[in-house]
Amino acid sequence: MSSFKAPPKKNLGQHFLADRTYIDQIVMAVNPRAGDRLVEIGPGQGAITFPLLRGQGELTVIEFDRDLITPLMEASEGVGRLTIIHKDVLQVDFSRLAGDEGPLRLVGNLPYNISSPILFHALEHAGAVRDMHFMLQKEVVDRMAADPGSKVYGRLSVMLQAYCRVTSLFDVPPGAFRPPPKVDSSVVRLVPKAPDEIGIGDRALFERVVRDAFGQRRKTLRNALSQLCSGADIEAAGLRPDARAEQLHVDEFIALTAHLAALPPDARPA
């Protein structure tokens, strides 16, 4: 790996994993099987890439930093067939990449500055994704996996848990990276739900209900959602208008959205 000469780039969130224990733990969590279509986001200097490539014989990676492309290619010689997509991951159409050869398994120690956009981008292509194993800031993973009633349960928890099963797997300390980030990290597994399991007809309305409900966390649902519906609507959906968003289960946000979507056109939220 001596050809990786460029210094780490802060603007690309480059904190390279350097601790074998955590690299092995990630590979074990992914548990790759023959025929799996693994795609790594942000291979960097290949900490996770090469163990995966060695095991699978082939791997696709998406890397934005042009200085890493040739060194990655050179380092893959004799290890396996590495396909490098030199692109911003947010511009990669995962549905197209998957084609009709089966869903992708996404893996990555993500650049933390764009981790939420990457998550939502992947979810837009959920039908093309079998699962995701991502390293993220621990604080973000805690919010993603939080249950109702928790201090960190919020919009991110509901939006992700509505579409995926989210499991926080293990924490990784700053010392495992070169250079070390300022924050703790965690590895999370996301498994997209099947479309008939999700039960959200109007996704834009669902997003609005969740955004408004958490926009004013301290307010009751009746007040936080006053632009969208009445207290009677909230009650008719089986919820308490004096409850707060942080107490509501994902299914309850979905039930409220379904109720509002089924109202006659003149009573529906504008």
Complex with ligand SAM: residue 29 or 261, whichever CB lies closer: 29
CA distances (Å), 74 to each of 2, 71, 96, 148, in order? 10, 5, 27, 48
Complex with ligand SAM: residue 62 or 225, whichever CB lies closer: 62
Per rule CB under 6 A, is residue 65 in the interface with ligand SAM? yes
Dist. CA 23–CA 176, nearest whole Å: 9
CA 153 to centroid of chain Cα atoms:
16
CA distances (Å), 197 to each of 161, 169, 193, 251, in order? 12, 23, 6, 11
What is the bridge-based pairing of β-strands 58-63 and 81-86?
parallel
Per rule CB under 6 A, is residue 75 in the interface with ligand SAM? no
User: Shortest distance, CB of residue 3 to ligand SAM, whole angstroms?
Assistant: 15
In the region spanning residues 224 to 253, those forming contacts with ligand SAM, defined by CB under 6 A, are none
Complex with ligand SAM: residue 118 or 162, whichever CB lies closer: 118
Complex with ligand SAM: residue 74 or 88, whichever CB lies closer: 88
User: Shortest distance, CB of residue 33 to ligand SAM, whole angstroms?
Assistant: 21
Per rule CB under 6 A, is residue 17 in the interface with ligand SAM? yes
Per rule CB under 6 A, is residue 72 in the interface with ligand SAM? no
Dist. CA 142–CA 187, nearest whole Å: 10
Per rule CB under 6 A, is residue 12 in the interface with ligand SAM? yes
Dist. CA 96–CA 93, nearest whole Å: 5
Nearest of 215, 225, 244 to residue 150 by alpha carbon? 244
Stretch that binds ligand SAM, among 45-53, 73-81, 186-194, 251-259 (CB under 6 A): 45-53
User: Shortest distance, CB of residue 68 to ligand SAM, whole angstroms?
Assistant: 6
User: Shortest distance, CB of residue 37 to ligand SAM, whole angstroms?
Assistant: 18
| 243 neighbors 236 (Cβ within 8 angstroms) | no
In the region spanning residues 90 to 149, those forming contacts with ligand SAM, defined by CB under 6 A, are 90, 109, 111, 114
From candidates 22, 30, 38, 44, binder to ligand SAM by CB under 6 A: 44
Complex with ligand SAM: residue 15 or 133, whichever CB lies closer: 15
CA trace torsion 30, 147, 127, 214 (10° rounding): -140
Neighbours of 76 (CB within 10 A): 21
| Helix H or strand E segment including 52 | helix 49-56
Complex with ligand SAM: residue 7 or 265, whichever CB lies closer: 7
**Max Cα-Cα span within the chain:** 67
Per rule CB under 6 A, is residue 47 in the interface with ligand SAM? yes
Per rule CB under 6 A, is residue 42 in the interface with ligand SAM? yes
What is the bridge-based pairing of β-strands 104-109 and 81-86?
unpaired
Residues that bind ligand SAM (CB under 6 A): 12-17, 42-45, 47-48, 62-65, 88-90, 109, 111, 114
